[in-house]
Chain A
Amino acid sequence: MKLGLAAAFLSATLLAGTASAADKRWDGADDLPVNPLACSAGEANAAPAAKPYDGGRPTNAADKAGKPITLVDVPKLIGIGYFNATSKGMQDAAKALGNVTVKTDGPTEAKIDEQIKFIDNYITSGVDGILFAANDPVAIAPVLKKALSKGIHVVGYDANSTPDAREWFVNQAEFNGIAKAMIDSMAKEAGEDKSFAIVTSTFTTPNQARWIAEMWAYAQKCHPKLKWLETVEAQEDNNLSFNQATTLINKHGDKLAGLFGMTSVATPASAEAVTKARLCGKVAVVGLATPNAMKPYVNADCVKSVVLWNPVDLGYAATYVMRAVVDGSLKPGATSVEAGKLGKLTVVNGSEILLGSPFIFTKQNIKDFDF
């Protein structure tokens, strides 16, 4: 009886399998509006509706335009590779600018209450500006507002606060930017008319669903022959991701030319599945991941592109943004800001500075990163 039931259930679910229309969004994408970027760098991107400045303003900040300033950087936590990299970018920028001193200090664990204490202490001891990456966007707001009220400039990076608690936020990557980098890499590595599958966390995880929707839109527009086979869920679970990727490889055989990993868990696990199946070079793995987890596969030539952003550039940009705010060259309503070697960065979403295109880790540069 048990078997009969199970069989009936399986066949019922078989019938329920829906036939997908060609223009239907890929599984795991959300239904929100999409804004695919231009196919090649030369074309202009459709600008989203401009949003008025929604950041905060410091009260009676001292005019230090062109004068030496002292900054403190309070990341989520210190002592890990990622924030060591942002901190290095800040030192690079300070050296390039010549009139900025910046010091990184913060909790050793990613705890918001600890982070608030650090910021509060620096407000008391007195600095010209605070750079932060928030452990919690809402909980950090009061202490940042206190800093603004004492005339201290506040700029965020990596992890935002509520907009009115800081002046500007340096945004490392927008969804459509990541989507373009992912799809372009896949088309280049697997081939324009090849088939691929996606390993994601769950179909309803907000960031992943947004990325998949933007990837779908960009592929429709710029790589229409690239064929999506299916999306599978793998939670944020290493071994489940590995099993799901292996199943996709076994199911599709030669037809499968690429796998997208949508999480920093799914990407190394997919690379491991391709390695174990001895299909390196035949199945391209493209995905979001951190360099340390991907080094074995990149160094073994099994994975060519790991998409993320460059945390050194992120710290560098945050420091330049702070200098521009103090100098008065970045004011509410501005549409761009100069950031040294990174060139001109665009203002988006009212009070955010976009770092630029995502960074792609390759065999040549991955050894320079440790996070």
Chain B
Amino acid sequence: MTAVTLAGAEADPRRRLKVLASQEALLAIAVIGLAVAVGLYNPRFLAARNLSDVLLGNAYIAVAAVGMSMVIVSGNIDISVGALIGVLATISGTLAVNGAPIVIAWLAALVAGVLVMALQGVIIAYLRIPAIVVTLGMLSILKGGLISVTGGKWITDLPDSFHLADIELSGVLPFPVFLMILVTVLAALWMRYSASGRAIYAVGGNAEAARLCGISQPRTIVMVFALHGLFAGAAALLYATQLRVIQSTVPPNLELTIITASVVGGVSILGGVGTVAGSTLAAVLIAEIASALVFIDVSPYWIRAVQGVLILVTVIADILRRRRMAGA
């Protein structure tokens, strides 16, 4: 997509059309179009309060999907992230209730996230074990470890100052929404304009060519996973601080929701293609659909089916686009 457009294409008059046809533009149109359509059926949907609640309650998914998008662009996958978010939330909450300074409790989630993911990156990159196998193993370790250590006991009595997600910047902008936008913009700029950001596309798109260009594939993969861990830590903090209790279990199917956001956002499951702007818009769209289904009185049985349709449609469109490009 835009990210792989060659330098020469900047002058191409067809580029403007291409931008409109990009996954990001389609998603933005879908987000707005859906809001208008549901708003016509039930105007309450468009209330500022509802729109803000939809963003607020799902910002953590978008933040985690930024890291996931980098991982998938680099030609890998991570199915351990949902379990990791559960573990990081528990670590942070446990520190907070045991009297650790709140800042330390927050930082611990970020640091532990980076360490666990970097370790997986090292195993994947240097021992050349497929990411799906490594992260599947980590998923089991984290899931089993969490339940063994906590016995499923909930964390309650969290101090009020722990609740990062309750902060409203200038009294209006909820912190989770701010963080979602900030992380997306910074990551998008970095991936598009910095050498290390471009290296992710190179490694995921054509590893051999990247090697010939002097890009270290293993180092890039470890870097991507470490960053992904940082974003998982941030997502865990939003997840943990939204409610007064932390469940101390792994959030069900969270990794699938996060991967769905990346894939629907236009990140090619084959690697090398996609943007974090797309994954954030897709995370917003998925959250919006879940809320819209309740508003238009559709049985909630359909929510997962609709998500599935979105994935299939996006992946088929991606494959067709690639074939057309290959044929042209």
Instruction: Please give the residue numbers on chain A whose beta carbons come within 8 Å of chain B beta carbons, in ascending order.
Output: 1-3, 5-7, 9-10, 13-14, 16-18, 27, 77, 80, 109-110, 203, 230, 232-233, 235-239, 242-244, 246-248, 250-251, 253, 265, 268-269, 272, 277, 290, 292-293, 295-297
List of B residues within 8 angstroms of A3 by Cβ: 26, 29-30, 33
- With an 8 Å Cβ cutoff, the count of chain B residues facing the other chain is 54
Residue of A17, A236, A242, A277 near B243 (CB, 8 A) is A242
Bound-complex Cα distance A238 to B246 (A): 8
List of B residues within 8 angstroms of A269 by Cβ: 243
> Are B244 and A203 neighbours in the complex by a CB distance under 8 Å?
no
The 7 closest A-B pairs by CB, nearest first: A250-B50, A243-B57, A292-B156, A13-B298, A247-B294, A293-B245, A233-B300
Residue of A80, A251, A297 near B153 (CB, 8 A) is A80
- B187 at the A/B interface (Cβ < 8 Å)? no
- B178 at the A/B interface (Cβ < 8 Å)? no
Residue of A17, A77, A244 near B298 (CB, 8 A) is A17
- B10 at the A/B interface (Cβ < 8 Å)? no
- B190 at the A/B interface (Cβ < 8 Å)? no
Chain B residue nearest to A264 in the complex (CB): B154
> Are B53 and A246 neighbours in the complex by a CB distance under 8 Å?
yes
Chain A residue nearest to B160 in the complex (CB): A296
- Shortest CB-to-CB span from B143 to chain A, Å, is 14
CB-CB under 8 A for A109 and B156, given A1-B317, A14-B298, A250-B50: no
> Are A2 and B26 neighbours in the complex by a CB distance under 8 Å?
yes
Bound-complex Cα distance A2 to B266 (A): 12
List of B residues within 8 angstroms of A238 by Cβ: 243, 245-247, 251
Bound-complex Cα distance A11 to B300 (A): 15
> Are B309 and A5 neighbours in the complex by a CB distance under 8 Å?
yes
List of A residues within 8 angstroms of B317 by Cβ: 1-2
- B326 at the A/B interface (Cβ < 8 Å)? no
- B299 at the A/B interface (Cβ < 8 Å)? yes
Instruction: Please give the residue numbers on chain B whose beta carbons come within 8 Å of chain A beta carbons, in ascending order.
Output: 26, 29-30, 33-34, 37, 41-42, 44-45, 47, 49-50, 53, 57-58, 60, 148, 151-154, 156-157, 239, 242-247, 251-253, 287, 290-302, 306, 309-310, 313-314, 317
List of A residues within 8 angstroms of B306 by Cβ: 9-10, 13
List of A residues within 8 angstroms of B293 by Cβ: 13
CB-CB under 8 A for A239 and B57, given A2-B314, A247-B294: yes
Known contacts A10-B292, A232-B300; can you find 14 more A-B pairs with CB under 8 A? A6-B30, A6-B309, A7-B37, A17-B296, A17-B297, A110-B151, A235-B252, A239-B242, A243-B290, A247-B294, A247-B295, A248-B294, A251-B50, A296-B244
Bound-complex Cα distance A2 to B19 (A): 16
List of A residues within 8 angstroms of B291 by Cβ: 243, 247, 250
> Are A268 and B151 neighbours in the complex by a CB distance under 8 Å?
no
Bound-complex Cα distance A16 to B295 (A): 15
List of B residues within 8 angstroms of A5 by Cβ: 309, 313
Residue of A27, A109, A242, A297 near B242 (CB, 8 A) is A242
List of A residues within 8 angstroms of B245 by Cβ: 238, 268, 293
Where chain A touches its partner, the secondary structure class is: helix
Bound-complex Cα distance A250 to B294 (A): 10
A-B contact pairs, 22 of them (CB 8 A): A1-B317, A2-B314, A2-B317, A6-B310, A7-B33, A10-B37, A10-B292, A13-B299, A17-B296, A27-B299, A230-B294, A236-B252, A238-B247, A242-B242, A243-B291, A244-B294, A250-B47, A250-B291, A251-B50, A251-B294, A251-B295, A297-B244
Most chain B Cβ neighbours within 10 Å, of A14, A109, A251: A251
Bound-complex Cα distance A243 to B165 (A): 14
- Shortest CB-to-CB span from B15 to chain A, Å, is 21
> Are A250 and B53 neighbours in the complex by a CB distance under 8 Å?
yes
> Are A246 and B57 neighbours in the complex by a CB distance under 8 Å?
yes
Most chain B Cβ neighbours within 10 Å, of A110, A239, A242: A239
Bound-complex Cα distance A268 to B242 (A): 12
- Shortest CB-to-CB span from A156 to chain B, Å, is 22
> Are A2 and B313 neighbours in the complex by a CB distance under 8 Å?
yes
Residue of A13, A203, A230, A250 near B44 (CB, 8 A) is A250
Residue of A17, A77, A239, A248 near B251 (CB, 8 A) is A239
> Are A232 and B294 neighbours in the complex by a CB distance under 8 Å?
yes
- Shortest CB-to-CB span from A306 to chain B, Å, is 13
CB-CB under 8 A for A239 and B243, given A5-B313, A6-B313, A251-B294: yes
Chain B residue nearest to A77 in the complex (CB): B151
- Shortest CB-to-CB span from A94 to chain B, Å, is 27
List of A residues within 8 angstroms of B313 by Cβ: 2, 5-6
- Shortest CB-to-CB span from A245 to chain B, Å, is 10
> Are B49 and A250 neighbours in the complex by a CB distance under 8 Å?
yes
Chain B residue nearest to A250 in the complex (CB): B50
List of B residues within 8 angstroms of A292 by Cβ: 154, 156-157
Bound-complex Cα distance A288 to B291 (A): 24
Bound-complex Cα distance A2 to B152 (A): 42
List of A residues within 8 angstroms of B29 by Cβ: 3
List of B residues within 8 angstroms of A9 by Cβ: 306, 309
List of B residues within 8 angstroms of A232 by Cβ: 294, 300
Bound-complex Cα distance A110 to B150 (A): 11
CB-CB under 8 A for A203 and B301, given A9-B306, A77-B151: yes
- Shortest CB-to-CB span from B156 to chain A, Å, is 5
- Shortest CB-to-CB span from B246 to chain A, Å, is 8
Chain A residue nearest to B60 in the complex (CB): A239
Chain B residue nearest to A28 in the complex (CB): B300
Bound-complex Cα distance A295 to B244 (A): 10
Chain A residue nearest to B300 in the complex (CB): A233
List of B residues within 8 angstroms of A243 by Cβ: 53, 57-58, 287, 290-291
List of B residues within 8 angstroms of A237 by Cβ: 251-252
CB-CB under 8 A for A14 and B296, given A6-B313, A9-B309, A265-B247: yes
- Shortest CB-to-CB span from B263 to chain A, Å, is 13
- Shortest CB-to-CB span from B288 to chain A, Å, is 11
Chain B residue nearest to A289 in the complex (CB): B245
> Are A17 and B299 neighbours in the complex by a CB distance under 8 Å?
yes
- Shortest CB-to-CB span from A65 to chain B, Å, is 40
